[in-house]
Chain A
């Protein structure tokens, strides 16, 4: 029976020591001064190559880098980690505080506490269990030196192509949750989130099937309204649902999520019905005018 406690203890110690190792590496005397991107990379390729390769795999650094070292860490070494730990660093590129990706977090309980206590928070502390009251963007997505943010992100679709990655991503995310929450709570919350998201995917597929049916009869021009509705269903509502689940915002799961998807779905159905009716109406009009 004590296995479970031991398991917790060992795993917590393991995470703690991994994090401390990272921190020790960072804390080594490093030269001060203004740095440019190339200098960071040249040096870090030697002392922490994984950071650089992870970043190059990640969407931030892949192909044409959209966010480099100094964008998140600044140009001064002593502030490098302090800057990157704070949400403002992320939101400056991710659409600001009102974009759904940030707003779904800032309205969650984590986000609320983070906002209220941000002035009292000691951002120089490493992301170690017990150091922060709530997680912010970087705590979950980048702690432990993770520079490939996609690693811990569950994809919206859970089909054959994504399910293996999704399982690993959720597993990786559990480590952060465990700093405060019990294992059953985390497991059940994730399980429910998966099911809630899958129901969103069901609604999307139902809408997609209607579009497929409509395609057999109608031209893309006639289907403009229907296609627009479907795009909004996917890009706004299913995305909100996904963000609501990931960032624990009941409002995004619900009012921006499921009932919003319901609305789009029934309007897509209504659009097919309307096209069918207008077509039949036109036909009867033609028949009646030719017979007159």
Chain B
């Protein structure tokens, strides 16, 4: 009798686990890549950002070539990259190692050339590749997980692929090594410079460049950095001031995401968790090149305090939005505008997505203005303040908090108007007014419906 309590759940598990695994592998088998691969097709250029998934060789040239043959022909065809290679460690190897030719990474057969993936570089650079893969255990955000996070983002899947190419260009840091070690020099010294990071780490949500350059560390780098010896490893005593890589890749470790306590800054974390205590000690040890432990601990506590203030403001704004949502006062509400991207539940039961846990990251278009105000407060002002605090640029902390204050007052005023208008319309006509056809129509809105 009692055995059925064992075998029935067991049977269900035996069916569900393979079914789940099959579903995930099926979902990744479409024309695109990632969990929504059946929903999209890549643009041709995306083969260069995600080579493993999309790159196909050009078929114009026939034949198999040796490394020297590649070099002698490309010297005339694309002299820039050959000149770059000639100055690289691959062409001038240390310790009597053999040269690394074009064919070592791209293959010999011109009909079946490949673009080097991290695995190919890892064939020789095993330590760095192992560390790069190991970064995954620190979760997102991390370089190693960047590509899957990009292609599994709902707005990436939803929008026309040529519109979102820039996403993959930065997130390709997970699929190839030349984001930091640019081809065909592949220089470690170049990757150590702060500028190596700024092509992706710039702009409103991650002003890592601007906040670092504004800090005391960055100011000294800008003044003297050109004269430092960048061939030195990122170890204690080798550099006058820390740079992006010095702190986030100390001793050249490729687990870039290993230490940040507040991570990306888009959700609240408990800064005092045991894991974060370990990170705190790691930071203090790193800063001890120049700073006393107490001083560094104070700076980290200041950042925690700054984050606490930021989240108080963000939660206040979220609460206002959620109360408008409860009273059906958002205008247009979900259902009166194109649905939250790639979410069949949202087409059946429309609901506005407010806050990180509900998928705020994709709620920056096709939303009402007040929701966009919150998006900008959360993603731009908040993150600007966070990066200012983390990198030691107080002017960015002030600017970010002033921006959040301003956004909060705007949200409060707007909420008042929405409440006044919505309630008055309900009193007069029994329902809130319709926001208008223009939310569902228009050249781009209709194009986006048909193209993703």
Contacts and interface: CB of A to CB of B under 8 A. Distances in A.
Partners in one complex: yes
B37 interface: no
A142 B344 CA distance: 52
14 contacts: A115-B195, A116-B195, A133-B80, A133-B185, A185-B45, A188-B43, A192-B44, A196-B165, A199-B444, A250-B167, A255-B203, A263-B376, A267-B372, A269-B439
A280 B48 CA distance: 53
B199 A1 contact: no
Nearest to B432: A277
A243 to B, nearest CB: 13
Interface in B193-213: 193, 195-196, 198-200, 202-205, 209
A116 B78 contact: no
B80 A202 contact: no
B332 interface: yes
Contacts of B435: 273
Interface stretch (A38-46, A72-80, A203-211): A203-211
Nearest to B87: A133
Contact of A202 (B81, B364, B443): B443
Categorize the interface residue count of chain A. Answer: 35 or more
B406 to A, nearest CB: 16
B83 A130 contact: yes
A180 interface: yes
B166 A253 contact: yes
Interface string A1-25: 1101100110011000000000000
A163 to B, nearest CB: 17
Contacts of B163: 195-196, 199, 258
A113 interface: yes
A280 B428 CA distance: 11
Contacts, number: 185
A229 to B, nearest CB: 10
A205 B441 CA distance: 12
Determine chain A's interface SS by DSSP, over half rule: helix
Contacts of A5: 61, 73, 77
A250 B170 contact: yes
Interface stretch (A54-62, A86-94, A104-112, A153-161): A104-112
Given A116-B190, A133-B84, A267-B372, A259 B436 contact: no
Given A199-B162, A213-B438, A9 B444 contact: no
B44 A276 contact: no
B436 A276 contact: yes
Nearest to A199: B163
Interface in B36-59: 43-45, 47-48, 58
Can you list the 10 inter-chain pairs with the closest CB atoms, starting with the nearest?
A130-B79, A180-B80, A195-B162, A206-B442, A270-B369, A262-B365, A253-B166, A250-B166, A251-B203, A255-B203
B366 interface: yes
A128 B45 CA distance: 27
